[in-house]
Amino acid sequence: MKLLSILVTSHLDTVPPYWPYERHGDVIQGRGTVDAKGSVATQIIAAQTLLQANKILEGDVGLLYVVGEERGGLGMRQVNQLGLSWESVIFGEPTELKLGRGHKGGLGFTVTAKGKAGHSGYPETGTNAIDSLIRGLAALQHLELPWSEDFGNSTLNIGRIEGGVAGNVIPASAWAVGGVRVAAGTPDSLKDLIETAISESDPNLEVDFTYGIGPVPIDHDVDDIPSLKGKHKRYLYGPGSILNAHSAHEYLTASDLEEAVKGYQRLITHLLKSDSST
């Protein structure tokens, strides 16, 4: 496996729906400005300006931008097949221009309900899949999820529900997509909790898991992350607030972008000096 010095990386994909980009004074709005187009733009400018100033040489820094981060990190997992490794990796995500100490993991799942269609006026002729799904999702709300002093509470979110064909038809199928942001424990232990709650709530339910990642500690010894395998040091940094990401009011500021360029430059030059001294 070829060992390189520094990788600077982030993701290009965003969550739906699309919100057009607009600028009002210092404020830049639009889908993905925070998560994570702001990181991508400032990383590229930071590397370009360092190269133009002869502060980095060809081969010192690699840039990598992937898709699929918002759907389980498929793009970054494909990178593992390239046969490359790095001394240090700088991940671009919204951290309010602070060097992250770590972040929660994630567990994705889909709950599927199977029923039997029939006329809504005669409920005894069918089995209502939406009723089953509601019972299962209600059971999940009562789970005691693990927490940690570093990352706080694990949190569960049901982000999408769909089912049935019409208001006067007993629904034969329904499903919901959700996830847990894992603050402590392992994805396997959470899978057991969720499977037990779902199976005990209604016999017409099944749950399938799409991905599972535990909490990720980050290096911070400087004045998509879990999917990239290797023994490299990991750094998390970027402009914008995670509280604005995935929202209709997603925005960051031009002044934050300017400061992020300086921040990435400091990270890169610090890590190059650290690598050369070891």
What is the DSSP secondary-structure string of 205-228? EEEEEEEEE--EE-------GGGS
Closest CA to 207 of 275, 120, 110, 132: 110
**Helix/strand/coil for 168:** coil
Residue 69 a catalytic site member: yes
The identity of residue 119, as a single letter, is H
Going by C-beta distance under 8 Å and a sequence separation of 6 or more, which residues neighbour residue 256?
A: 38, 97, 239, 240
What pLDDT is stored for residue 273 in this prediction?
85
φ/ψ bin of 91: left (φ > 0), alpha (ψ from -120 to 50), beta (otherwise): beta
What pLDDT is stored for residue 225 in this prediction?
54
Q: Which residues pair with 169 in a beta bridge?
A: 119
Taking only the tens of pLDDT, the chain with its 278 residues reads: 456 799 999 999 999 999 999 999 999 999 999 999 999 999 999 999 999 999 999 889 999 999 998 887 889 889 988 888 899 999 999 999 988 877 788 999 999 999 999 999 999 999 999 999 999 999 999 999 999 988 899 999 999 999 999 999 999 999 999 999 999 999 999 999 999 999 999 999 999 999 898 887 766 554 455 667 777 888 989 999 999 999 999 999 999 999 999 999 999 999 988 765 55
Is the full-model pTM beyond 0.85?
no
Domains for the chain: give ranges and CATH numbers. 2-101+218-277 (3.40.630.10), 105-213 (3.30.70.360)
Helix ranges (DSSP H) in the chain: 38-52, 74-79, 129-140, 187-201, 254-277
Set 69, 87, 93, 250: catalytic member: 69
Between CA 144 and CA 153 the distance in angstroms is: 10
What pLDDT is stored for residue 158 in this prediction?
98
